[in-house]
Amino acid sequence: MFLKGKSAIVTGSTSGIGLAVARALADAGAHVMLNGLGEADAVEEARASVAALGAGEALYDAADMTDPAAIATMVARAHSAWGGPDILINNAGIQHVCGVADFPVGKWDAIIAINLSSAFHAMRAAIPHMRARGWGRIVSTASAHSQVASPNKSAYVAAKHGLVGLTKTVALETATDGITANCISPGYVWTPLVEKQIPDTMTARGLTREQVIDDVLLAAQPTKEFVTPEQVAALALFLCRDEAKAITGANLSVDGGWTAA
């Protein structure tokens, strides 16, 4: 358990990629603070499943990722409980599919706030604790859309491009502090976020559900397979190892070859 005694915050971790990362970190011995949406019973089930895996504790914080004060309070709570946080996984994200001309302003603001600004606020709160301990790992879930664009996803593409730029800047600012900052950019992963955008894409493009999956979602991935949350989690876990300390400011693709072309 190479992370025994270390602590992590994983945003957007009540399902999908975030929950897989939380489980991987717990299995390696870390204390884990979960965060995300869901019914109370489902959230507790997720927390308990993480707590059962390793030597550390698992807590849940319902911080609103659009609220900078709530994010700062979550980081302070983790620090009070365990010290650190030593590891910050910025994974919270939402999506809306619509052309620019009709894109709701409120949806734009929410996507930028949750997919991009929340990472800034969490990093801002966590980095001083990491510097004090001389060790830290920041991993942000970007997307293949951090490198390429798709129609009808202006806010998401803008946020993910911005997240990579933010991460590169933080990597340079913390390069001599024992801290690394990296992005992981998955292709399409079968998660609730992906499943929920299928109806909007059906409407926007006039396609059936099967056509959206085969001709839109998987069309760009040469493997013709969804990435799994566990594959993303395995890379996030590696980035937390001491062997990965020279990897910083990187945007690592896990996309079935999508961005190879």
229-239 and 16-27 helices, crossing angle to 10°:
50
Residue labelled with tokens 């717990």: 26
Beta-bridge partners for 184:
141, 252
Query: Would you state the pLDDT for residue 200?
Result: 86
Lowest-confidence pick of 46-50, 90-94, 95-99: 95-99
Domains of the chain: 7-187+228-252 (3.40.50.720)
Helix (H/G/I), strand (E/B), else coil: 54: coil
CA atoms lying within 13 Å on the CB side of residue 46: 28
Once rounded to an integer, what is the mean pLDDT over residues 5-20? 97
Query: Would you state the pLDDT for residue 201?
Result: 87
pLDDT at 107 over 80: yes
pLDDT at 86 over 90: yes
Q: How confident is the model over 208-219, as pLDDT tens digits? A: 999 999 988 898
Nearest to 115 by CA among 40, 179, 183: 183
Q: State how far the Cα of 255 lies from the Cα of 261, in Å rounded to an integer.
A: 12
Tokens found for residue 49: 């499943």
Instruction: List CB contacts of 78: < 8 A, sequence separation 6 or more.
Output: 7, 9, 31, 33, 59, 61, 84, 85
Q: How confident is the model over 169-213, as pLDDT tens digits? A: 999 999 999 999 999 999 999 887 788 889 988 998 999 999 999
The residues carrying an active-site annotation are 156
Cα 9 to Cα 61, 99, 177, 203: the distances in Å are 10, 34, 19, 36
Q: How confident is the model over 22-81, as pLDDT tens digits? A: 999 999 999 999 999 999 999 999 999 999 998 899 999 999 999 999 999 999 999 999
DSSP code of residue 226:
P
Cα 65 to Cα 33, 69, 70, 104, 123: the distances in Å are 14, 9, 7, 19, 13
